[in-house]
Amino acid sequence: MPDLREFLAEMEKSGEIYRVKGEVSPRFEAAAVIRRLEGKYVVYLEKVKGYSMPVVAGICATRERLNKALNVSSIEEFYLKLLEAIKKPSKCKRVEEDSVRRVQVEVNLERLPVLTHYEADGGPYITAGLVAAQSIDGEIENVSIHRLQVLDRKRFAIRLVPRHLYKLYVDAKSRGKPLDVAIAIGVHPALALAASASPPYGVSEYEVANRLLGGKLQLVKCGVVEAYFPAGCEIVLEGRILPDVEVSEGPFADLTGTYDAVRKQPVVEVLAVHLREKPVYQAILPAGLEHKLLMGVGREAQIWEAVRGVVPKVGGVNLTPAGGGWLHAVISIQKQVDGDAKNAIMAAFAAHPSLKHVVVVDLDIDVYDLEEVEWALATRFQGKKGLLVVEDVRGSTLDPSADQVTGLTTKIGLDATRPIDAPEEKFRKVRIPGEEETLRRVLGEG
């Protein structure tokens, strides 16, 4: 079945892996190298000081890699495939034993090359762990990515926001029981995408991933806890979230590149560790490109679908990197009448409640080229007509300027589309005929 190693082999074949031969420390040095390279390459750290296990990062740091992971060729095809998988998840084959050789080792988290990323971090964090859990009655399964702060050899602090895993934890806690979890590290990108896509409660992200992978995903039953992990993953941690233990978690650098608040959070007790032969440890750089894209691309698909419901054509949706892949959106549309852009803005806010600022542009603007977006704002936006302000609405506590208790914020939409009744040529971008062909012939570009 598709796994991390198969995808790495594909990346290697296309020259997209940068193998770092020099030794790096897991404390800060690895993060520095990942931050410099992840936008261009999958980063493969061969020598991490104090460990025999290599570290890979940046797997999902570009849209091109995500397209390859899902075998699609355009952003529209990507959105459609992801949305279909969420609406029509596919049952996974569940087995007792993995298809690859795996050994159980002593429970000692200090033997994993867990990275410390930034100067004020609360400690080393596992950042690419898929946490799978079932409800006490076994009817609900959830798979999601959570930051895991290493406390000692056998325990993590886990950050739980009030979403699906939190609900399973609270339900178990109300019965005085721990919540069993399987934590998988080192997986195919489709699994990370599914775990980040936030399908409705009750839809298993494993089944979303199975649809994305054409029905090839197999799940393996844990030996100690009541949970499943994906066959072929690199590392499996079996554990339980304790019902009556909380510790201070953080600081941690989140999407915005600022530190999230320190909070009391639950504790995971690790009961068993299983390693694939010659395992590869996978990391996601907090506040890096991969973190932002994984968090944002599922929301982009939801925004794209919602805006399609109110305007005739939607081009692209970009939850921008500078907005943390979360707070800022640029959307291109084809208007039929003035006012369509504001409808698109309101649809976007409804589809992704954490959005803070939305810019809507015409289809001739590349939403991924922020210089073009700024040009559209400069030449097509008029504050008196195109500004939409919504005060005191729920936003995201990831925004340090929002109310950190209530999440209340002010949201702004900007209509940077040209007026329907204005002459099109007045707003047309200048161009040089044959420019690309000339540059290829004369300068060898392209």
Pair type for strands 17-20 and 42-45:
parallel
Side-chain half-sphere exposure of 71, counting CA atoms within 13 A: 8
Query: CA-CA distance, 135 to 37, in Å (whole number)?
Result: 40
pLDDT at position 312, please?
86
Q: Are 280 and 57 in contact (CB under 8 A)?
A: no
Core vs surface per residue 131-153: b (16+ CB within 10 A) or e: bbbbeeeeebbbbbbbbbbbbee
Q: Is the pTM of this model over 0.85?
A: yes
pLDDT at position 446, please?
66
Query: CA-CA distance, 200 to 85, in Å (whole number)?
Result: 12
Q: Is 121 a catalytic residue?
A: no
Token pair 């068993």 is at which residue? 272
pLDDT at position 398, please?
84
Give 34's contacts (C-beta < 8 A, 6+ positions apart): 43, 45, 57, 58, 283, 285, 288
Reading the chain (446 residues) residue by residue, the pLDDT tens digits are 789 999 999 999 999 999 999 999 999 999 999 999 999 999 999 999 999 999 999 999 999 999 999 999 999 999 999 999 999 999 999 999 998 999 999 999 999 999 999 999 999 999 999 999 999 999 999 999 999 999 999 999 999 999 999 999 999 999 999 999 999 999 999 999 999 998 999 999 999 999 999 999 999 999 999 999 999 999 999 999 999 999 999 999 999 999 988 999 999 999 999 999 999 999 999 999 999 999 999 999 999 999 999 998 999 999 999 999 999 999 999 999 999 999 999 999 999 999 999 999 999 999 999 999 999 999 999 999 999 999 999 999 888 899 888 889 999 999 999 999 888 888 888 889 999 999 999 998 76
Alpha-carbon dihedral sign for residues 180, 184, 185, 190: negative
- Our CA angle for 40, 44, 50, nearest 5°, is 140
Pair type for strands 179-185 and 141-145:
unpaired
Choose, from 98, 180, 254, 399, the residue flagged as catalytic.
Answer: 254
- Domains along the chain with CATH numbers: 89-277 (2.30.110.10), 290-422 (3.40.1670.10)
Token pair 């702004």 is at which residue? 412
pLDDT at position 99, please?
87
Query: CA-CA distance, 381 to 360, in Å (whole number)?
Result: 10
